[in-house]
Amino acid sequence: MFSDHWIRKVLIEDLFARPCDRIAVRQITELRAQIVSLYALLSINTCALSFTHIGLAPAWLTLAFPALFVALSATRLVQWWRLQPETLSGHEARRHLRLTGILAIALSVVFLGWSFALSVHGGPYEQGHMAILVAITVIGCMFCLTHLPIAALGVALIVTVAFPAYCLVSGNAVFIAIALNTTFVTVIMGRILVNNFLAFIKLTRSQLEAERLAEENARLALTDSLTGLPNRRAFFQQVEALTEETAPKAAEDGLPFALAIFDLDRFKPINDTYGHKAGDRVLQETGRRLAAFAGAEVVVARLGGDEFGALLRRPAEGGDPAEVCARICEALRVPIRLGEALVTTGCSAGLALFPSAGRTAAELFDRADYALYHSKLHRRGHTTVFSQEHESAIRTERTIEDALHSPDLAQQLEVHVQPILDLRTSRVVMVEGLARWTHPILGRVTPDRFIAAAERCGAIHRLTATLLRKALADAARLPPEIGLSFNLSAHDLVSRETVAAILAIMGESGLDPRRLTLELTETALMRDFERAREGITLLRALGIRIALDDFGTGYSSLSYVHRLPLDRVKIDRSFMADLHSARGERIVATILDFCRNLDLSCVVEGVETEEQRTILHRLGGRFLQGYLIGKPMRMTALLDSLAVIERGAGGDASEQRLIA
């Protein structure tokens, strides 16, 4: 009936194997309801058998022993009823299983011996009752011990050996038949029990494996694959949980926690210079250094790109969040070795404190991000703590963003122009259109503020189109030999919608496209170089000229000059501050030579003194722009002063100062 392979498989590999923690807990869970039934069955059958022998057997067999046996069963029944399997460790679950198995076998021996002792004192009916009760009890016990097969088989083995032996000794043919039937049924039940247990083990293992895979998938879904740190989703889950937990008691507890965002300062040039694999190694090393700060009070995560986050729980004494951020920034400033090269990224940080900076995860993140933006602009390499001043600035910027969507925006905007002079001819050859916005409540809003706000709130394309229409309308009033230079936002060139709008507006204006130069910054090109190149190709196909603004201030300006079809570069005004020094003069001379060699016209911005104009003239600079030539002004004022500007360029400094 049982093959050798089956016996070896069941008895050695599964039944006698030490169950793992989670399988042991599952066994306890399944046994809990069945063991209660087991002890109830034993108690009822004990009482039934003792009742039929009252007056036939001694009182200690019919009253004392049953009372003791039922009390023990009831005690175990209550213990199992009160047991909470989910609270047990694997070790505790295995201990319960061992104790249950030992007690089951011991109780079966005691119950069987007591039954045999009673049968001596009864007649054939009482003996028949005992035989049937023993058969029923053993089958019932095996059912109840299905999830503990060692105990079930132990009970079955004891009964199938002792009961047939007792019946054979009695010589009663009916008893012998009952014993044989009981043995046969017990063997069949044993086979079924073992198969069921094996199915239970297989199912449990499958469930545990599925749970393990689900847990692993959940872990991977919350882990950054490159650095091994928690990812953005995991970070926000922890921040949200912490804000919900601490918000109700924030008032009395003071400063519960802080949220910090870190951004690497020089990651992009490293990535561009050494390649993406080197960039990945920098991010991995950054993640490793950040992980050194992780612990019970600090959670670190990679938020995306070269941006990382830290959740600083209530710090220990002396563990000010700003100081922790400063230590992290210091750790990230340590050079990283890439083969033979050493690179230094550095990092800036923004810090938002709960609850002063915000009471929700979104508010804290926005405030920390704003503080980071402030660090990148004004305190690169340091930590900025979000303050009430920043809150006021945010409110102002939101007001600006709301105003940018006003239907009256076009009436509030105007374009001023600043002349660009050709030193060789002493003539104005171009004007640069500069946006100006005067709001009825906010007053004069500077371009750097409202353009950045327009980019953030999605109003930049409407703003660009409005300003370009105004600039082209003004340019139509200029002499035909004077061109117009117009700045594009970093978002404009990579937007096919905006490029198409520029082409349409240019066609509507009737102005010769060759008179229009569009100025681009390196930031605009960095957003999406391929899309930017497509836009430039479309614009130049119409005859529009392209200039690279703020040349010399970015990391990759030379690369863009080499890779793009440009017509002009504009030397950033920052070079003028050092022009009087030998070193500054050599730098500007080098840029001018570079442009001449590539057949690019070059405009020098920020010219404010006669000394600068003299030096630039000596170096071969041709096109100048700055307060010395003329400040930004309305088109009417420019048209009225063109002759004065050109005479001043010819040497009449007194007249030129009047314009400046």
Whether residue 358 is contained in a domain is answered as yes
* Local structure of 603: helix, strand or coil: strand
Across 58-91, b (16+ Cβ under 10 Å) vs e yields: eeebbeebbeebbebbeebbeebeebebeebeee
CB 544 within 8 A of CB 517: yes
pLDDT-derived band at 464 (thresholds 50, 70, 90) equals very high
Q: Which of 10-14, 191-195, 387-391 has the lowest average pLDDT?
A: 10-14
Of 278 and 126, more confident: 278
Per-residue confidence (pLDDT) for residue 319, from 0 to 100:
63
Per-residue confidence (pLDDT) for residue 126, from 0 to 100:
80
pLDDT tens for each residue of 614-630: 999 999 999 999 999 99
Whether residue 504 is contained in a domain is answered as yes
On the question of pLDDT at 323 being above 80, the answer is: yes
pLDDT-derived band at 659 (thresholds 50, 70, 90) equals very low
Are both 256 and 110 inside the same structural domain? no
Per-residue confidence (pLDDT) for residue 315, from 0 to 100:
55
Find the angle CA(477)-CA(480)-CA(485) to the nearest 5 degrees: 75
Of 393 and 228, more confident: 228
Separation between Cα atoms, residue 556 and residue 525, nearest integer Å: 10
Are both 116 and 257 inside the same structural domain? no
Whether residue 489 is contained in a domain is answered as yes
pLDDT tens for each residue of 26-44: 888 888 878 888 888 888 8
Per-residue confidence (pLDDT) for residue 647, from 0 to 100:
76
Q: Which of 241-255, 306-320, 565-579 has the highest mean pLDDT?
A: 565-579
Whether residue 106 is contained in a domain is answered as yes
Are both 416 and 283 inside the same structural domain? no
Distance of CA 109 to the CA centre of its chain: 62
Are both 372 and 460 inside the same structural domain? no
Separation between Cα atoms, residue 374 and residue 203, nearest integer Å: 57
Separation between Cα atoms, residue 54 and residue 136, nearest integer Å: 21
Residue 606: left if φ>0, alpha if ψ -120 to 50, beta else—which one?
A: left
Per-residue confidence (pLDDT) for residue 38, from 0 to 100:
83
CATH classification of the domain holding 288: 3.30.70.270
Are both 455 and 382 inside the same structural domain? no
Per-residue confidence (pLDDT) for residue 411, from 0 to 100:
93
CATH classification of the domain holding 637: 3.20.20.450
What does the block give as tokens for 642? 């063109």
Per-residue confidence (pLDDT) for residue 262, from 0 to 100:
95
Domain closes at, from 386, 418, 438: 386
Whether residue 296 is contained in a domain is answered as yes
Domain closes at, from 216, 243, 274: 216
Per-residue confidence (pLDDT) for residue 613, from 0 to 100:
93
Average pLDDT value over all residues in the chain: 83
HEC assignment per residue over 81-114: HHCCHHHCCHHHHHHHHHHHHHHHHHHHHHHHHH
pLDDT-derived band at 248 (thresholds 50, 70, 90) equals low
* 463-478: average pLDDT: 94
Are both 188 and 254 inside the same structural domain? no
State the alpha helices, DSSP H only, in 247-336: 250-253, 267-274, 276-291, 321-332
pLDDT-derived band at 527 (thresholds 50, 70, 90) equals low
Whether residue 548 is contained in a domain is answered as no
Are both 240 and 361 inside the same structural domain? yes
According to DSSP, residue 344 is labeled: -
Q: Which of 125-139, 362-376, 539-553 has the lowest average pLDDT?
A: 125-139
Separation between Cα atoms, residue 420 and residue 422, nearest integer Å: 7
Taking every pair of Cα atoms in the chain, the longest distance, rounded to a whole number of angstroms, is 144
Whether residue 116 is contained in a domain is answered as yes
pLDDT tens for each residue of 156-173: 788 778 777 777 777 778
513 prior amide bond cis, ω within 30: no
* 219-236: average pLDDT: 86
Distance of CA 66 to the CA centre of its chain: 66
Per-residue confidence (pLDDT) for residue 34, from 0 to 100:
84
Per-residue confidence (pLDDT) for residue 655, from 0 to 100:
41
| Structural domains counted in the chain | 3
pLDDT tens for each residue of 166-211: 777 777 787 788 778 877 777 877 777 777 777 777 887 787 777 7
* 565-569: average pLDDT: 87
Are both 321 and 373 inside the same structural domain? yes
pLDDT tens for each residue of 339-350: 888 888 889 999
* 80-88: average pLDDT: 84
pLDDT tens for each residue of 343-386: 888 899 999 998 888 888 889 999 999 899 888 888 888 999 99
Give the phi and the psi of residue 227 in degrees, each rounded to 5. Answer: -100, -15
E strand intervals along 440-544: 443-445, 483-487, 516-520
Domain that holds residue 72: 4-216
Per-residue confidence (pLDDT) for residue 545, from 0 to 100:
93
Whether residue 221 is contained in a domain is answered as no
Per-residue confidence (pLDDT) for residue 6, from 0 to 100:
42
10 Å CB burial of residue 169 (0-12, 13-18, 19+) is exposed
Are both 23 and 170 inside the same structural domain? yes
Separation between Cα atoms, residue 173 and residue 561, nearest integer Å: 111
Are both 106 and 206 inside the same structural domain? yes
Are both 260 and 339 inside the same structural domain? yes
pLDDT tens for each residue of 393-448: 878 888 888 999 988 999 999 999 999 999 999 999 999 999 999 998 888 999 98
* 89-110: average pLDDT: 84
Are both 351 and 466 inside the same structural domain? no
Per-residue confidence (pLDDT) for residue 16, from 0 to 100:
47
Per-residue confidence (pLDDT) for residue 88, from 0 to 100:
82
pTM: 0.56
- Of all helices (H) and strands (E), which one includes residue 427? strand 427-439
Per-residue confidence (pLDDT) for residue 654, from 0 to 100:
39
Per-residue confidence (pLDDT) for residue 646, from 0 to 100:
73
On the question of pLDDT at 68 being above 60, the answer is: yes
On the question of pLDDT at 14 being above 80, the answer is: no
Domain closes at, from 166, 185, 216: 216
- Of all helices (H) and strands (E), which one includes residue 562? helix 557-563
